Structure 1
Amino acid sequence: MSVTETNRAPAKAAIFTRLPSPHDPEAAARAAEAFAEREPAAATAATELIHALAGHSPYLAELLVRESACLALLLARGPDAAFATALAPLAHAAPESPTAAIAALLRTAKRQAALTIAAADVGGLWPLDRVTGALSELAETTLSCAVAHLLATAHARGELRRPRRDGRGSGLTVLGMGKLGARELNYSSDIDLVLLFDPAAAHDPDAAQGIFVRIARDLVRLMEERTEGGYVFRTDLRLRPDPAATPLAVSLPAAIAYYESMGQNWERAAMIKARPVAGDRPAGEAFLREIRPFVWRRHLDFAMVADIGAIKRQINAAKAARGAGPEIAVAGHDVKLGRGGIREVEFTVQALQLIWGGREPGLRDPTTLGALSALAAAGRMGRRAAADLADAYVFLRDVEHRLQMVADRQTQRLPEDAEGLANIASFMGFEGVEAFSATLTGHLRRVSRHYASLFEHMPSLTAPSNGAEGGSLVFTGVEEDPATLATLSGMGFSEPRSVMAMVRGWLHGRRRATRSERAQELLARLIPPLLAAFASQQGPDAALARFDTVLAQLPAGVQALSLLARNPKLLDRLAFLLAAAPALANHLASNPAVLEGLLYGAAPEAEVGPSGDAAACLPALVRDARHLEEALDATRHLAVQHRAEIDAAALEGSIDVDAAGAARSALADAAITALLPVLAADFATRFGKVKGGAMVVVALGKLGGREMLPGSDLDLILIYDHDPAAEASTRGPRSLPPSQYFARLAQQLVAGLTAQGAEGRLFEVDMRLRPSGSKGPVAVRLASFEAYHASDSWTWERMALTRARVVAGPPGLSRKVTAAIRAAMLRPVEPATVLADAGAMRARMLRDLPADGPWDVKAMAGGLVEVEFIAQALSLAHAREQPALLRTTTREALASLGAAGLLPEWARLVRAERLWRTVLSILRLTVGRWRQPLLPGPTAAALLRAVAPFCDTPPVDQEALLAQMRSVADTVRANFNTHVAPLPDKPPRPGETGS
């Protein structure tokens, strides 16, 4: 709660929910007596609190006597009022005051706030986040006061322009890092700062560095110099860019250049919590936005886990060198850096945030408890693990605070002597050391277990092994190793010499992705399980050759190889997909970013399914983008990855064709919904806005029905409206008439959705279903849409509208467009006319667009098109009498027709529609367009497994499947003939040529 908020809130007397009994009753009694001499009216009410504080802490005993008026105020009006009173003088201090006066003011505020926070904490009046938040607010407020004074002093020397009181335009930005940045300061914490400056703020830009370095030195001195009033905060500037080579204050351009070119993973972790705390805060926010791509990478980065784990191992090694081993203990244990301590909780959280936060902005919470909650909610951490870590974190932070309150020392180490331990146990509210130790060690062990599951179960990167189950594998040396050739042959590879040459090429760095030392270390570890995974597939040589093609296209291999090293079971998934799906493998080879999508859903920390939250992440990613191109790149990157994830899950059978279609459609919906306002805003910067103008996106076809297949394009109609009085957009010489304005905006949206990027194309878009087809305007005004469908639209156009739904645009216009679509479908037309038109159109399609071979289940007689025509034509024919028949999803429309008594065999048609979509989906994923019989192998096996739920009996081979497909096609054709219109008697059939 800020000072202003506290002043508005009614003050309440403190009512303590917990107060520990004094460990040192004599010290407590002395402090109570000294307090009573200063504040006799509050003495009785203060006794129990004084005993709890002074009976454990000499520092607090001295403080409560020195600042007795503050304690009396707390007892009378509560800690919020006391805290606000402590900070209030800083907000009103004149920056031009003498330095000595500012220093005294800062130290008084620190003492009073420290006493208030300790009382509220120990007495149970504030939870942990309020305690750490108050400590952070104290630091931020004192920094703001100190910086304002130093800037005013620099102005008085003629060095800087006159600064505003809030620091804007001053040229100096102070970033709070670590616990200060996250508002998680501990009781006796140092504050980690990064000081950045804009050289243009100085009267002489060439002298700016010297000016701001002097301010940095003066700030450190003002904050941490010890006087008779104490000190404010110990200050650490070592988190600035390249601290060994840079001055105390770094220019903004130099800092940006450093992070973009040389930033390390530990600096990424540090920047998670960074925020402006003093000086020019807007400039600090702009800087953090600029380096956001450095912190939050769009690519999954499991190599980073090893880096953060290495930092912790260095900490453990340093502790061991000081005689403090890494094992869990109580006496002398470091609750921050020791085994199972606070740092392990923080590292676990930060590692998972850095892995997933690039594509899931909701995980970027700078607070440890907030991030744990977000990780659990997103499925990136088990809920039990998150709860264990959160409970432990709160307990260990409480212990840390009690340790520091004893003597105001920056320590996290438990006493080694029995008396000291007993004091801390009592301060924590335990009756004895034994009970305290049991609770503490329970938390430490749980943290250690969860931390180890992330960092310490990774394969070692320092001792590559050439062993493999089933024989020895040796790929070094000039000559081929006969034993290795024999082992490879025994594993099932038909060309062991080719396999051996391929692997030796990897190890010799002949692929760009395997040239770095770290990549080769990872690869040496992975070769045995990798070969075993591919050997278990049908056609292992071909599948491994596809992996080599993929490897050849990767710009770098460490990230992908690290992910595989984290969980070798992912190798089985990759091997299966490359063996079963040559088309997917070819796509992967031409677009390496797809690899992350294949591995993403099965990553070890992931708990959401392959149709999970990627679509939900898109709006936040787009809003987070600094400019339009970054928004398009972020959307393209996530969409490419997530489509691959959905495709892989569909091929493996972990989701069915309905779930996969819904997931692909949700992704497209999210992309359109997120990009439309960004593109419209960008367009408005150049051409202004049309009064009362807006545009909506209407989806039809597979997207409209939420049935998207692999490779489906987006069938869209763009409809706009505006104030009738608007004649042009509001942008002077670049204004446009409304029709031209929205036509160009529509073109920009289509261009954004279809533009080719480094990771491929976002979507293909088909707009031929708009009024007047490809000859009409790209965007149509609502009134024109309504007029066209009221009298001029063809039956097939209104059949297409049965699958139409608004997917993006403002709510008001969306409701009007939805009503217009419904009115078009309810237009009075004789049912017989609708059915006859549908039959004639289908007959033309059979004549002009015949099926392309036996596997073209979309166009063939009795295929997917005919099922969809049955649903659309019957729904449209009877919609005026029964509007409830109108459903955008084909299977739901068929079910509605069955419930209305219009389609007795609706259930068989639903199964047929799902069978055709499944066949199309699997073939598109595996072999693409295919006319020949499928060879026995992983592709045929995947197809047979996928279609089994939609067949009368699970087909055992390709011929059995084709026989059932012929039967299903006959059923569909018979229903079409009966309920829509008769079609030619000799249609091509599944498994027959001559289509």
Structure 2
Amino acid sequence: MTAGALARRGFGDGTRAVRLMAESGLDPGRHRAVVDELGAAPDPDQALLGLARQLECCADPEELLEALCADPDLRARLVKILGASTALTDHLVRHPGDWRELRGVDAARAPGPAELRAGMLHTVGADPNANTAPVAAEKVDDPDGPAHALRVAYHRRVLRLAGRDLTGSADLESVGAELADLAAAVLEAALAVARAEEPDQAALCRLAVIGMGKCGGRELNYVSDVDVVFVAEPADGVEDDQAMRAAARLAAAMMRIPGETDREGTLWQVDAALRPEGKNGPLVRPLSGHVAYYRRWAKTWEFQALLKARPIAGDAELGAAYAEQIEPMVWRASGRDNFVDDVQSMRRRVVAHIPAAESEREIKLSRGGLRDIEFSVQLLQLVHGRSDPALRSGNTLAALEALSAKGYVGRDDASGLSEAYRFLRRVEHLLQLSRLRRTHLLPDPDSPDGAEQLRRLGRALGYTANPVTDFTAAWRRVAGDVRRLHEKLFYRPLLHAVARLPEGEARLTLEQAGDRLSALGFTDPAGALRHLEALTSGVSRRASIQRTLLPVMLGWFADAPDPDAGLLAFRQVSEALGSTPWYLRLLRDDVRVAERMAWLLGTSRYVTELLLRAPEAVGVLSDDADLAPRSPRALTAEADSALRRHDSAENAVAAVRALRRRELLRTALADLLEVSPVDEVGDALTTISAVTIEAALRAARAQVARQRGEELQTRLCVVAMGRFGGRELTYASDADVVFVHEPVPGADAVAATETADALVRELRRLLEMPAVDPPLHLDADLRPEGRSGAMVRTLDSYAAYYRRWSSPWESQALLRACPIAGDMEVGARFTEIIDPLRYPEGGVHDKALREIRRLKARMEAERLPRGADPTLHTKLGRGGLSDVEWVAQLLQLRHAHEIPELRTTGTLSVLQTAVSRGLLDAEDGATLEAAWRLAARVRGAIMLVRGKPADSVPKSLRDQAILAGALGYRDDDEEEGAVGRLIQDYRQATRRARTVMERVFYDD
């Protein structure tokens, strides 16, 4: 096999590979399977060099090569190890026969804790079946002594485990558990050696080893400090001080053995720094000493550390007694003052102390690393585990699964954290396997061999095409996901409220609430108290969670313009959704939803009414993306699906109207939360109305065809007019339309018109039939001859009418005409008919201009409601919507024939085009646009606040205050307050617009 062929298989240096194969007796032809496996290794060159070294030191190299060719499992395990770990390669070179550890049944199965303990004790000559504490024999088979034998046996077990891990036959949980059990077995054997070395001391005490950290949680790394705490009791008849001194000597001797170094290297350090008082405290304490310390002196972080405490070696009975005494204190710790703040502060301190040069490569401590996941899980466990024993696990993944199963963490969030944790721990394991050294730093790509290390790491993780690029992208994506979820869960404000609750007491007592309601601004404290009682009484899970939520939410209700209405609406929504598992979990886990819900319900009757018809829509408050207007294509697809699901026209259109109600709510929520500007609101309302009419028209066609028993003899188009055509609908707007039809070729004109009339009647019936969802009224008053004219006309009829009888106001109205539903070909031909009227050649003539101006003046005089303040009427008032729109329409009538960009139906687009083409001064355009936007926003907010339409700013001070709050005005130290600033801003904007309108509209 040539150097080039080997390079194509993944070898970095093909020439060197050819030489090594020749020198080691590896024949690419005869041993083709081995060569292919080497090419798939994390580092093919390293794996080949390791195999060459292995063959060189083997007593019978041919035996190894034949075994590798014959046994694919052995081949995969050995080659993966050689390509991933130089440390384990060195072990195989020191012990040439240990490659046999990787074949057979034993290499494929995971040993249990008892087997590992027995094996390690046997290695040091101790009896694993001894009734009392096992003691090592004075002599073992290894001439270097029991400690050396223990290190060799440990590395053999790690070799087997790495073989299963790197080939994917062992998952992360089993790898971490086996490493923890193996560490516990080593400590048990080391303690047996210590007892043999200090037999007199061993007789004076009972000693238990408590595993902490990852060893305690059975999620240990390949190379990690093994955190322990020692607890001891005197033997019968021995004084306490004497027993503690003896236990300390045994503990120190035991700790020394795994940390010693010889030609086998060092296993790991045993760290007892998590003991009471840390490194300043005694190494060993009696059980009573531990209990006293944790009751009186322990800090918050110490209880967090104890969450993973587990007896792992020594006196099992004493270890169990320690766990029984300490565990209850761990789960009461969250009731301590500032507990949540302390845990959060500790995490921030950890991040702050990461060296700047390492922060971007640290996978454990940095933001988005393992510690973010572990701290999030542990804080949730400690806060909620006080009352829920199912959460009391020292294992991160097991605890996360329990938090998800019991509803404290959402399924998607738990899944995301779990996947991220597995990824990061897998990377950590691979980093440590390389040299069996403790590290959490990714290789520096700028260092001499950093890029090659990253390549090896990427290939080991399965990124074979572009190992460095793909791995780096995956790591950054995971770190970003972890940061986001950590911020969401770890800094959840409701954790503080839960943590402050006294154990066993109600989260919210009605006596406490009664004192708070008046102070918070509720106008009817007694009524509010009744709502709270209905929400929190009883022992159900729902009531319990409500008692957790409401202390925080009462403050948010108080921030809303109408707290009483908000609390009542919250009760109604909660009663409708209280038995739905996701609802309260959503409010608890995503505090923004609860806060938004309190404010919206206390602000908008319109939103409240829509929400009560479909309470499940609360879910859209969790993500601003869910509040964005949906595309016409998506809405049309959903409406089509609704039509297909139902046989009757009534049921089909009812489903479409439910879709419209949902979109009305989505739009109102986005509007009130200022996620969408006012022009997007009008566009969204227009889109859903158009989709609704289109779907209802299809249902009406099917219904009329069934009734008549024949194919319909005409094609109908619905043309939007007014605000509908301009895509500027409001929540209270009727849909202004005209209906146009064209008989199919050969059809009788009279019969076709009768069919079109039947279609229109059925369409309007379906859209306005009584239902829980808001009706959609079709207003056809802008048709030729108004209410006296025919409801629907043919194209020819429209052409004849407009040719002979059209008035200037109709030309002006047609500026907003836009085919919106039905047969678009008919709509296009209708547009061809009306374009000469609305975009007259040469512009609007003087006679028509005078008539338009007279009509505008008459509207102001006659249509403004009696008693209405002309400065506060959003539609017809001075500087309001009508003033701005008439200016825009006059500009179109005058110039659209020569400026195609003006041939649009939207007011703002006309103004912007007029400014860009020099027809309107930029400052005047900005003034008109600002007034239009504010008037449209105030008009929409009036409907949102009151739940019924009105065009004037309300006269009631209470309603004005709610309106100001809905528009984002807040009371502060300014003398005029929120209402005063709203009215001042509105009058100022419209006054300026009126000045511009009078100058532009009446300028000849």
| Bigger Rg, which one | 2
Name the TM-score, length of structure 1 as normaliser.
Answer: 0.50
Q: Which has the higher contact order (CA 8 A, sep 6+)?
A: 1
